[in-house]
């Protein structure tokens, strides 16, 4: 959506930079210029990652900068069709007190980017790190400033990623994208149910396959139940991956 500010959150190393670089290359190939601003890597490091992902684009411009005033000046001169800021926690404004990543800097930098986005009518993606409690690092108002909030989730040592929308001023949030991380970056998983049930054993006791909705996408998932005699004390029910109150209804 032109003139929209999109926040992509996720744990460090989950694949946010990979996803944004792949999106940038796709847009650049459609004869649109893209400004990829990195505050965490040098230009040569971003180039190496792009070569590893086998992505390229004649209109892809990479800038290694953390001073947001300099970034905005660069964007005004370039007039790109898409902008990526990776990440918001590394940006700073000289007229705002505090170091990059503190609450005041993150809030003011995001508001400055929002003003530029609305004036230029250019879509802009910003990457944001997620804290241990699962929230975007920074002020709680950050998610209220932006137009769209997406979360990239996945197991630390797994290869699958889920891109989930939690806020969208321009449309529905009932959509998810499922991807697999490989040597060439993130690839869309067209049939997630097949992946989720790849190790399912029909003859296994205490295992059942049930349909569920992830956003608007139907999925087949496996539910397993394991019961063992209680050695001491009263028996306990423990749930993992399913709401405990719903378990009590069974």
Contact (CB, 8 A) for 107 and 142: yes
Same domain, 178 and 201: no
Strand pairing report for 185-188 and 176-182: antiparallel
pLDDT recorded at residue 137? 57
Q: Average pLDDT for consecutive 10-residue bins of the chain (250 residues)?
A: 92 92 92 94 93 86 96 96 94 92 91 96 93 61 87 84 90 84 89 74 79 78 82 82 81
Give CA 157 to chain center in angstroms: 17
Same domain, 125 and 227: no
Same domain, 216 and 170: no
Beta bridge partners of 82: 34
pLDDT recorded at residue 140? 64
pTM exceeds 0.95 for this model: no
pLDDT recorded at residue 74? 96
Length of the chain measured in residues: 250
Contact (CB, 8 A) for 4 and 148: yes
If one counts the domains in the chain, the total is: 2
The Cα–Cα gap between 95 and 41 comes to: 24
pLDDT recorded at residue 44? 94
Q: Kindly state the tokens that stand for 124.
A: 């802009």
CATH number for the domain that contains residue 119: 3.40.50.300
Same domain, 28 and 143: yes
Beta bridge partners of 213: 218
The closest of 48, 43, 40 to 16, measured between CA atoms, is 40
Domain that holds residue 125: 5-189
Same domain, 29 and 144: yes
Same domain, 113 and 215: no
Torsion, Cα 98 102 107 112, to 10 degrees, reads: 50
pLDDT recorded at residue 73? 97
pLDDT recorded at residue 206? 80
pLDDT recorded at residue 36? 97
DSSP code per residue over the chain: -TT-EEEEEE-TTSSHHHHHHHHHHHHHTTT--EEEEESSS-HHHHHHHHHHHT---TTEEEEE--BHHHHHHHHHHH--SEEEEE-GGG-B-TTS-S-TTSHHHHHHHHHHHHHHHHHHT--EEEEEEB-TTSSBSS-TTHHHHSSEEEEEE--TT-SEEEEEEEEETTS----EEEEEEETTEEEE-S-HHHHHTTT--TT-TTEEEEEEEETTEEEEEEEE------SSSS-----SSS-HHHHHH-
pLDDT recorded at residue 67? 97
The Cα–Cα gap between 156 and 154 comes to: 6
Domain boundary among 189, 217, 234: 189
Same domain, 154 and 227: no
């Amino acid at each position: 959506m032109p003139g929209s500010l999109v926040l992509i959150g996720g744990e460090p190393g989950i694949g946010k930079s990979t996803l944004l670089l792949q999106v940038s290359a796709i847009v650049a190939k459609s004869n649109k210029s893209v400004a990829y601003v990195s505050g965490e890597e040098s230009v040569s490091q971003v180039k190496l990652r792009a070569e590893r992902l086998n992505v390229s684009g004649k209109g892809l411009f990479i800038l290694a900068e953390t001073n947001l005033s300099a970034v905005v000046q660069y964007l005004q001169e370039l007039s790109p069709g898409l902008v990526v800021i990776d990440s918001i926690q590394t940006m700073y404004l000289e007229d705002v007190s505090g170091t990059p990543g503190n609450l005041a800097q993150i809030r003011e930098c995001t508001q400055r980017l929002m003003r530029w986005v609305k004036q230029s009518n250019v879509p802009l993606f910003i990457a944001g790190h997620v804290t241990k409690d699962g929230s975007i690092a920074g002020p709680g108002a950050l998610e209220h400033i932006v137009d769209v909030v997406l979360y990239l989730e996945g197991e630390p040592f797994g290869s699958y990623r889920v891109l989930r929308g939690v806020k969208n001023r321009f449309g529905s949030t009932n959509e998810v994208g499922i991807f697999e991380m490989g040597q060439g970056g993130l690839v869309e998983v067209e049939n997630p149910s097949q992946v989720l049930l790849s190790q399912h054993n029909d003859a296994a006791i205490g295992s059942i396959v049930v349909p569920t909705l992830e956003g608007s996408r139907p999925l087949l998932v496996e539910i397993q139940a394991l019961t063992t005699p209680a050695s001491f004390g009263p028996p306990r029910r423990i749930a993992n991956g399913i709401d405990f109150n719903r378990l009590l209804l069974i």
